[in-house]
Amino acid sequence: MISLEVKQLNAWFGNAQVLRSIDVAAADRSVTAIIGPSGCGKSTLLRCMNRMHEEVRGARVEGQVLFGGADIYAPDTDPVQVRRQIGMVFQRPNPFPTMSVFDNAVAGLKLTGRLPKGELHDRAEQALRAAGLWDEVKDRLQEPGGRLSGGQQQRLCIARALAVEPQILLMDEPASALDPASTLRIEELIAELKRDYAVIIVTHNMQQAARVSDSTLFMLYGEVVEFAATQKVFTNPDDRRTEDYVTGRFG
C-alpha cells in the first residue's frame, strides 16, 4: 500500500531549480532510502514531503505530494497538520538542551493542545519506548535533554516526532553525526519503526542504505536516475550511473 506519492515535483530556491520532475512512491511499513552525491537535492526532496521547503525565503514548489490520496499542497491544506502526520528527524540531534527529557518528548504534544497529566506521561513513555530510549532515561526524565549522549539525543528527537503519532517519519542523515555504536542503534531502531510507519531516509552511507531500506531512490543533479527495490539498485541497476555511484566510482 502506498503511503506517500510524489508526482512531477519541481522545486526552486529563488531562480535556482533544485528538483526536476520527481516521481517516487513510498510504501507503508517499509523503508525508502534516498541516495546521491552532495547537492543533488536529497534533503530538499525530503523537506518538500512535509512542506518544510516553503519555510525557506524564496523557496517554491510545483507538482503534487499525495498523502492518503490528498495533495498536501492543496490550497485548503493546513501545513501544521501535514507536519504532525509526516514527522521529521534532522541530521544533527536538536533537543531543547535546557528542557527536561520528559518535556522534550512531549514538546510537540503541548503545542497541539492541553492533555491530562497522566495521558501526557503515558504518551511520553510510549514515544520513548518506541524510540528505544525508555530504559536508559526512565530515571532521568527531569534531567536536561542536553545531558544525554549524542545517540541518546537523536533518539529523544525521534521520540518527540513519534509522540504526536505521525503516519510517516522522514529522517535526514539521522546517524551522520553519531559514533558507530550509536549509528548501529539508530539502524536497529529504523528496522523496528517500519513495523508501524513508513520511513523515508536520506543517507550518504551506501552500506547503511543497503542494510536498512526496502526501496532506494538514486538522484543526480536534482533528477531521479533510478528507483527500485534496494537489492536491485545495489546488485543489478538499470542505469550505469547508478552502478558507478553505489560502487564508489564517483560521488
Residue 202 has a pLDDT of: 97
Share of the chain above pLDDT 70, in %: 98
Q: Calculate Rg over the CA atoms of the chain.
A: 18
How does residue 248 score in pLDDT terms, banded at 50, 70 and 90? confident
Residue 108 has a pLDDT of: 85
Report the CATH number that the domain containing residue 8 is assigned in CATH.
3.40.50.300
Furthest CA-CA distance within the chain:
57
Q: Residue written as cell 523515508?
A: 200
| Entry pTM | 0.92
Number of helices (H) and strands (E), helices first, in the chain?
A: 11, 10
Residue 16 has a pLDDT of: 96
Residue 24 has a pLDDT of: 96
Whether residue 11 lies inside any domain: the answer is yes
- pLDDT for residue 113 is more than 70: no
Amino acid at 108: G
Whether residue 251 lies inside any domain: the answer is no
Give me the domain span that covers residue 120. Answer: 2-246
DSSP string, 47-100: HHTTT-GGGSTTEEEEEEEEETTEETTSTT--HHHHHHHEEEE-SS----TTSB
Q: Which residues sit opposite 151 in a β-bridge?
A: none
How does residue 251 score in pLDDT terms, banded at 50, 70 and 90? low
| Number of domains making up the chain | 1
Q: Which residues sit opposite 230 in a β-bridge?
A: none
Whether residue 235 lies inside any domain: the answer is yes
> CA 251 to CA 246: how far, in whole Å?
9
To which H or E segment does residue 106 belong? none
Q: Which three cell numbers stand for residue 187?
A: 539502524
| DSSP letter assigned to residue 204 | S
| DSSP letter assigned to residue 238 | S
